[in-house]
Every structure is written in C-alpha cells, then in structure tokens.
Amino acid sequence: MGVPDPIFEEATLHRRFVGDIDGHFFVPGYQRGYRWGEHEVGRLLDDIQNSDGKPYYLQPIVVKKLTNGKWELVDGQQRLTTLFLILEYIRRNALPAANPRYSLEYETRPESHVYLSELNADDHTRNIDFFHIYQAYECIRGWFERQPNQLQAAIDLYTAMSKFVQVIWYEAPPHMDSKELFRRLNVGRIPLTDAELIKALLLARIRDTAGQTDRAHEVAAQWDVIERDLRAPEVWAFVTKKAREEATHIRLILDTLADAIAKPPARGPRPLFHTFETLRPRIEQSAHAVWNDIQDMHSMLLGWYEDRDLYHRIGFLVAVGEPFEAVVDLARDQARSALDVALTDRIRARLSRSADQVKELTYPAEKCTEVLLLMNVESIRRRTRSSERYSFQAHASGTWSLEHIHAQNAEPLRRAEQWTAWLRLHREALTAVPADDEAERDSLLADIAAALATSPLPEDKFRELEDRIVRRLSADGNTGDEVHSIANLALLASGDNSALSNSVFEVKRQAIIERDKAGTYIPACTRDAFLKYYTDAPAQQLHFWGAKDREGYLAEMLRLLTPYLTDSDTV
C-alpha cells in the first residue's frame, strides 16, 4: 500500500473565472522572476480569443493561505502576472472599469508591485523584472494593435475573461512545505494533470463526508496501487500500444470514464482539463460512486490482462489502432463467452479478408503487417499448455517492418559501402552452406575477396557477383513473381542495415539465430519460419527458402487466421 500524499489528501479545489480572482498574492523568493516573452504572451491572448464563448481552462493556480490573509502563490506567477497586464491594458485603453481585482507582490523585488500599475517606459531597464514585465506589456499592446477593431477586441477579451476563461483554484494544505511543492510542480513535469486534480477533489469530497477520514486515507493508498499496476510495462503496452511511461497512467481509466459521458472533439489535441471538468460534477454529487467506477475498470483491465485469450485478442486490436475506450464499449454488459464472440467479430471486421484475398496480399501492403501480427499473436494464444505471451511491450518498443524471408536481389542498394557490406554477409553464408562443387564455391569466394579489396567497388562488378551469389544461395523454384507475396514475408524489428534486409535466406537465418542468442525479441512465427518449423521433413532444405517452405508457411498462416476470415464460419 502506498503512503497517502498530503498534497492531494488535504487540498481543496474550486473553479474561478479570471475576472473573479481577487486578493493579494505574495510571490516568494524561491521562484524566479517574471520571464514570459512574446511567444507565451501571444499564445495566451490567442487562446482566450479563440475560446469563442466556450469554457476555456488555464493551468491551475496553486496557492497557500498565509496567516496575514495574503495568498502565497506557489505556482501560476507567470499566468497571473500576464493576466494582470492584459486587464491593465484593457483598463487603460478600452474599459476604465476593468480593474484587476487582485494584486501581486514579489519578495525579491518589492517595487515590482508598484511598477505593475505604473508600467513606466523610462524605468523598465532598472532591473530585470521591470524589463520583462514591460516587454510583456508591449507584446500585449502589439497584439491588440494587430486586431481589425481594437476596441471590440478588448471588449470581447474582457467578456471572455469574465464569463468563459477559468482557472482551477488549487489550495494546498497549510502545513505543506511550499518549496518542496514548487519543486514537484516545476521540475521536469507538467504542473498538474487531470489525474492529480481528480485525486485531490475525490479525496476532499470523501474526507468531507462525516466519518470518512480513514476512508480517504484508504482511497489514497489504493489510488497509488492502481497507478503502480498500470505502470507495469507489459500491462501499459497491452492497453495503449505505448512503451514509454507517462506522468500518470491512471489517466487512461479516468479518460475512458469521462469519454463515456462527453467525448472530446474528434480533431486536435484533447482540451486542457476535459477529463477533470467532465468528471467533476459526478464527483461532487457522489465521490464514492466515481471511486467505485475507477476500481471496477481497474479490476476489469487486470482481468483482461490475466486471461490469455482476452489478452491476445484485445492486445492485437489495440496494437492495430483500436482505442482502449472502444474495447471497453464493446465489453460493456457482455458475458465472458459473448465478449469472446464480439472480439472475434471485431478482428474479422478489421481484417476484412477471405482466405483467397490473404493469399493475394503482396509487399508493401499495410494489411500484410496486420495479417502477420495476427498470425504471431494467434500462434502464441493457441499454445494452451504454455505460459508464453506475445509481448506487446516489445512490439510497442520497436519499429516493425515487413521483411522478405528470401530477397532475390540487392537492387535497392545503391552505394559502394552497401555493396561491400552485402558481399561480406554473403561470403559468410557461402562458407556455412555445404557445397556440391567446392571448386566453384572457392572460385566465387576468391572473386568476392578480390572485389572487397577494390576501392571503390564498381557497380558492374558487384552486380555480376550478386547474380552468382543469389543463384547459388537460392532454392529451385524461387521466382521473381513470388518474392513479394505474403508467403515470403515476415514481421521483424526494422533497423538501418539495408544490406541485411536485401539478403538471401541463409544470411538472414544466421542473423535471426544471433539475435535470438542475444535476447532480442523475435516474433514467434518469424523465428519458426527461419527454423523451418512449417516445412514437412521430406522437403527440408535448411539453408534455402523454396516453394515447399512458402506453401507450409502460408498453410499455417491460413490455419491460424481461420476464425477471422470472412469466408469462415469457425469461431
């Protein structure tokens, strides 16, 4: 169990329109001075203007009540100072009644309190804070002067700040160390996330319920357990197709709950604090009900992860782009058996191919990647006596590409250093493959050695050697028409070794074995193809990839995909 965080357990949160912010704010000396420039000031003005009569939320203002009645401004100095300057400009140039209802005092520069109201151009170079404050005011002036109608722009902006633009007023507990809180909010992270705001409001509401103080401590600890569970790399990749950690992981659950109530706009980034503002009314109405919903979704998610069938089917859908909330919608009110059917149907709809259409897939069609991923996922899912799982974390960590199991030429290679690398790789393969005519092989190896000693290597010489090597390391029946077919493609982590990507089967087989020994994640079916698991014993030819290999590989692919093909009734 985690240790409850006093920041969240005892904080109080409110919404305030910018026009309603009042009081005297004290900016302590542990903060740097005002430093916003043209970019930050202009973006704030543009955002307020573009709110267009809709609620718009700024980052939270974090404060602590001081014994003298003032507010210690722990986080939000740059925003509050800029908003003060905007209101001051509007008061001077459009609406004399638009006085800011709050004031700012800076511990390190007490005279800045006066300068904010005077904004005297002659004094702006007296110290660095005056300089930045004056420059920001000039940015505001320039922004208004670029508006087609300055007066109307000022009126509209003031109206927006009074009726639509809000801050989340975040009052920290009085005993919290201000310097530590400031450090946590500003060192290498977003100041406050939706998840942290929801946690603070949730705990505050539970704590305010009679006799529920201990319950608030329990919820805080359980919240940390959920966050820890979601931070497990395999769990996180399974439900998000992301490998990297984020500031908060419980936000996935919170976003999903919020989106079931109010979907964010389909285009553009998620609006700031959309999740918090969507869940806030429900938390204020019944914090316990919202907390139960969070716990239920956490349990459901872990249940999916622990169930091998659900893990692989859901993991595949998420990996190919199905949003987590769409899977939640699919599973809502479904019995376990019905969910199996629903997931199978969803994968079939996603694949949207018959057996014949799968056979016709060729490089570089995007659907080839999905088919091969599904083949790998299904291959492991069906190993009911094995604890092995497809690693969606490894899948999310790399860039995956379609790899030709056997490449018949190195035509894409255009540079001498690529030709040299290709020859070195194939020289090793020629040495490893048993030769029917050792004299012919030795002659070819000698010609390769001579070519490698030539600098720069002429292209005509490389192409002549390439043709001889490919013919020697290719099985009978390998034709150009089949090199791009799905029966000659495998899923593999992509790299920058173009010489290897354009190599024949034996070169790649040796590379796969070396990668496997080194612990590199290789999808199961890719590994099995290069180890000839799909080829009948009488047709085995270890160092070559031929027609019988392709037939066995394709047959296994279709067998594994049968429940998801449009011409199959099997579920």
Cβ neighbours around 241 below 10 Å, total? 20
Q: How far is CA 256 from the centre of its chain?
A: 16
Measure Cα distances from 522 to 301, 372, 495, 515, 516 in Å. Answer: 26, 13, 13, 8, 7
E strands, 279-426, in order:
400-404
- The closest of 46, 98, 99, 105 to 81, measured between CA atoms, is 105
Q: Please tell me the number of Cα atoms within 13 Å of 374 on its side-chain side.
A: 26
For residue 23, report the phi and psi dihedrals to the nearest 5 degrees. Answer: 110, 180
Q: What angle do CA 542, 546, 549 make, to 5 degrees?
A: 75
Which residues pair with residue 15 across a beta bridge? 168
* Domain limits, the chain: 6-192, 234-352, 353-408+474-571, 413-464
Amino acid at 351: L
Which residues lie closer than 8 Å to 566 by C-beta, 6 or more apart? 348, 351, 352, 353, 354
Task: Return the residue matching tokens 């006799």.
Answer: 211
Per-residue pLDDT 10s for the chain (571 aa) are 344 454 555 677 888 899 999 999 999 988 888 989 999 999 999 989 988 888 888 888 999 999 999 999 999 999 999 999 999 999 999 999 998 999 999 988 888 888 998 998 988 888 888 999 999 999 999 999 999 999 999 999 999 999 999 888 988 888 888 888 887 777 655 457 889 889 888 888 887 776 666 788 889 889 999 999 999 999 999 999 998 888 889 999 999 999 999 888 777 778 878 899 899 899 989 999 999 999 999 999 999 999 999 999 999 999 999 999 999 999 998 999 999 999 999 999 999 999 999 999 999 888 999 999 999 999 999 998 899 999 999 999 877 888 889 887 777 888 888 899 889 888 988 888 887 788 888 899 999 999 999 988 999 999 999 899 888 888 764 545 678 999 999 998 876 566 678 888 888 888 888 888 998 899 999 999 999 899 887 666 788 888 889 999 999 999 999 999 998 654 3
SS3 452: helix
Q: Distance (Å, rounded) from C-alpha 87 to C-alpha 64?
A: 24
Which residues pair with residue 404 across a beta bridge? 489
E strands, 408-524, in order:
489-493
Query: With contact defined as beta carbons under 8 Å apart, do 221 and 1 qualify?
Result: yes
Which residues lie closer than 8 Å to 449 by C-beta, 6 or more apart? 427
Length of the chain: 571
Q: Distance (Å, rounded) from C-alpha 286 to C-alpha 251?
A: 19
Q: Distance (Å, rounded) from C-alpha 205 to C-alpha 197?
A: 12
Query: With contact defined as beta carbons under 8 Å apart, do 361 and 368 qualify?
Result: yes
